[in-house]
Structure 1
Amino acid sequence: MLTKEMAKDKKSKVKKRSKKNWYNWHLYLGLITGVVVFVVSVTGCCWAFKEEIESLDAWHLSVKEESKPFIAATKAKEIALTALPGRHIHGIIYGDKSQSLEVVFYEEEPEFYHSVYLNPYSGEVIRVKDHFKGFFAFVLKGHTRLWLPKDIGENIIALSTLIFLSMVISGIVLWWPKNKKGLKQRLVFLWKSTTKWKRKNFDLHTIIGFYASSLAFALAFTGCVMAYGWFYFIVFKATGGDKNPRFVYPENISKAGVPVKPIDELVPILMDRYSEAKSYELHFPENDTTGILVEMANSDGLHYDMDYRFYDQRTLEELSTNSIYGAYENADFADKVIRMNYDIHIGAIGGLAGKIIAFIASLLAASLPVTGFLMYWGRKKKPAKQRKMATA
């Protein structure tokens, strides 16, 4: 029969064994994914203020306002194709009267992403920009694929993000103090002149890790939503989603032979009907059966509240969709959760303050693999006498 002391001793051993298992999980997965987490975090810091930095070289986005109508979409398409002949046009973006018109070219294989900026009144080509060149293109490739081939790099990033998500949880378990006295040491830097670098490094890892844990978890969680279809689907269903979570092009409701209205009439109609929208991106239909997509931005720098509206390519009548990507006014809670995911990931959901928070969270997350490795290295480099005493 077990005495109280024996039972207490057994319980203590179980706790120590459990803690050691958590420690080993945290340590070895951290060593495996540390470099990836560091690169993703640092590039995330750089990406946080992309729009603000790129605005310093945005001379091509503004034009002198004129009292003339914009050139038609088909005319813009024709002019842009003279600049990039044989390429596929993804969409045409119309802004306000003082903004240039952007014709977006995008092809997945082989990768091609350019924009041709036109004067919306005369059709003059202002600038041709390659979005896969420059500093932020370099940053994005590092953040999403480690500058490796797409299929390889994206899978490494996705798996590392999922592992990091579990490491945040194991880190909190390891951080949790035994008593109130230990709590203060895990919340505040109590450094003295005699405090050695190992203790300082330990505090940097544990204290910063604790304060950054919730933000790091949010960044990793939203990253997993973008990386894994099954993760995306689980989040959508868990929040009560009942629509189609994919992007769906509804088909025309009119039949062949119906008199066709020119697509050029659509954007002026929408500008008049939805005059408060910031921009209108027109997508030409891929074939004779699908509708016309128009993406209307309702806020500067945000994606979640965009309107995705579809129109019959013969009658220009609006089409309904059961996808979460429809008019924002029809979005329910689950739709908004998924739609907000990217804006939360980059911090844009909170405006400039949100981007600052995302920047700080990424910077702190980048420090964790460094301080964690130094902790591991410090233990490996213990003198033989210390290692023997520690083992005993």
Structure 2
Amino acid sequence: MTVRIGHTVKAVLFQVHSIAGLALALLVSLIALTGAIMSFEDEIVDQLNAGIMQVPPRQIPALMPDVLVARLKAEQDVGKVSAVTLSSDPAAAAHVRFARDENGGRPASLFVDPYDARVLGSPRGEAFFATVRRLHRWLLIPGDGKGWGRPITGTIALGLIVMLVSGLVLRWPRRGGSVKMWLKPNLGLSGRGLHRSLHAVIGTWVLPVYLAITLTGLYFSFEWYKDGVTWLLARPHAAAAKIQPKMSAKPTRTASSQPAPPIGFDQAWTTFQREEGDRFSKALLTLPAQGTTIRIRSWGKASLLETTRDEFRIDAVTGQMVSAERYADKTFGEKIIAAIYDIHRGAILGWPGKLAFMIAAVLMPLFSVTGILLYLSRRKLRRPAQPPLGRLVPGE
């Protein structure tokens, strides 16, 4: 009876694995390949733009950000500035980003000389990687993160988890402790046998990577998943603050009220420099969509990861520090939450981790192809054999 139940469970899992694989093969491969393309985006962009990211260091102080923006606008027909990246390195160019225009498009960013606001150029590869990122995250569906693309890619990630778990159960050999059974493909086979061996064994190799990618990717797809991870790993007061429903901040305006004057970076930048001194390597200053609180993300000089950063919120009018969230003060669980993006792309393990995750992502189409070939061969085997036409006689 136990054996029969086990066969029934495996038969159900086999059908679930096959249906999910056939339904998601193309989309999973597309998301994996776009993720592989972005694995070394930072290194590629830095290499492509090495000539415009550096300036000759000078003995004069760099321009304050508001003066930099004002001079840039005086010399160039540019849109509304949304963010500026400044560096403590006297040889690093400033990086200016712009808000979306009326059509929803975002103008190309510019590297600018921090001493005289001279435009050095737009970064090559920026538009390409922006398109790849939108394809990876939202399948280029209109609305980006606020449209249907986000839950669709999240559902695909859930489907991949179903395939991974069911595939592991179906893969479990009779000698579960045998490393050879788990990890060595039988390359002496051909046809259906070879396809099955490659599908199962290579799938075993990359299964931990795929689980890491999907479990962290869900964090960016579903609010309920993000809230659950925050509740599980963050301190109670931090989790409660992050799980609070987001209220729409619609400013009330009376008939006599006037639009708020535009705010600048200088007050917040002065407060940040006074607070941090020369401990940072670069800082990203972002203007708020509403209100007067500027967000400043800064990275230390020894920081090697995107997520090992400090975050400050400073009032742009008064220069008062609203909040300071330092990476060093986070608990272990909060550091995991902060590093989810770097875990997702393997950067938490340095460039070897990024390379391993990229190779695993590139291999995803292999499972799609071998899975489809196995499905077609099963259908062929199940098809009843037809007698040769030459042997048919009247009445048969």
For 1:234, which of 224, 228, 250 is the aligned residue? 228
Residue 269 of structure 2 corresponds to 267
Q: How does 1:76-91 map to 2 (within 5 A)?
A: 76-82=68-74, 85=77, 87-91=79-83
Deviations 1:241-272 (A, max 9, x none): 42123799xx9xxxxxxxxx995255356446
Matched, 1:93 2:89: no
Q: 1:307 to 1:180 in 2, by over 3 A?
A: closer
For 2:313, which of 310, 314, 318 is the aligned residue? 310
Amino acid at match of 2:339: M
CA distance in 2, matches of 1:181, 1:98: 57
CA distance in 2, matches of 1:154, 1:180: 38
Q: CA deviation at 1:54?
A: 1.7
For 1:176, which of 172, 176, 182 is the aligned residue? 172
Q: CA RMSD in A?
A: 3.0
CA distance in 2, matches of 1:111, 1:346: 27
Residue 257 of structure 2 corresponds to none
Amino acid at match of 2:9: S
Q: CA deviation at 1:240?
A: 4.1
Q: 1:356 to 1:386 in 2, by over 3 A?
A: farther
Q: CA deviation at 1:132?
A: 6.0
CA distance in 1, matches of 2:285, 2:34: 31
Q: How does 1:260-339 map to 2 (within 5 A)?
A: 263-264=265-266, 266-267=268-269, 270-271=272-273, 273-286=276-289, 290-298=292-300, 302-320=305-323, 326-339=325-338
Amino acid at match of 1:296: S
CA distance in 2, matches of 1:37, 1:83: 46
CA distance in 2, matches of 1:223, 1:115: 27
Q: CA deviation at 1:377?
A: 1.4
Q: CA deviation at 1:223?
A: 0.8
Among the aligned pairs, what percent are the same residue? 22
Deviations 1:165-211 (A, max 9, x none): 2221111111112335987434312333xx22211110111001111
Residue 4 of structure 1 corresponds to none
Amino acid at match of 2:205: Y
CA distance in 1, matches of 2:383, 2:179: 31
Residue 194 of structure 2 corresponds to 200
Residue 392 of structure 2 corresponds to none
Residue 223 of structure 1 corresponds to 217
CA distance in 2, matches of 1:212, 1:155: 25
Deviations 1:25-50 (A, max 9, x none): 11101111110111111111111111
Q: 1:182 to 1:385 in 2, by over 3 A?
A: farther
CA distance in 2, matches of 1:83, 1:159: 47
Matched, 1:41 2:32: yes
TM-score, normalised via structure 1 length: 0.82
Q: 1:90 to 1:301 in 2, by over 3 A?
A: farther
Q: 1:234 to 1:90 in 2, by over 3 A?
A: same
Q: 1:222 to 1:82 in 2, by over 3 A?
A: farther
Assess if the C-alpha contact under 8 Å between 2:48 and 2:125 holds in 1. no
Q: 1:173 to 1:300 in 2, by over 3 A?
A: same
Residue 57 of structure 2 corresponds to 65
Aligned structure 1 segments of 4 or more residues deviating by more than 6 angstroms = none
Residue 122 of structure 2 corresponds to 128
For 2:21, which of 30, 42, 49 is the aligned residue? 30
Q: How does 1:97-176 map to 2 (within 5 A)?
A: 97-107=90-100, 110-129=104-123, 133-134=127-128, 136-149=129-142, 150=144, 151-176=147-172
Assess if the C-alpha contact under 8 Å between 1:113 and 1:132 holds in 2. no
Runs of at least 5 residues in structure 2 that lack an aligned partner in the other structure: 250-262, 387-396
Assess if the C-alpha contact under 8 Å between 1:225 and 1:232 holds in 2. yes
Runs of at least 5 residues in structure 1 that lack an aligned partner in the other structure: 1-9, 252-260, 388-392
Q: 1:49 to 1:129 in 2, by over 3 A?
A: closer
Assess if the C-alpha contact under 8 Å between 1:94 and 1:281 holds in 2. yes
CA distance in 1, matches of 2:272, 2:323: 16
Amino acid at match of 1:98: A
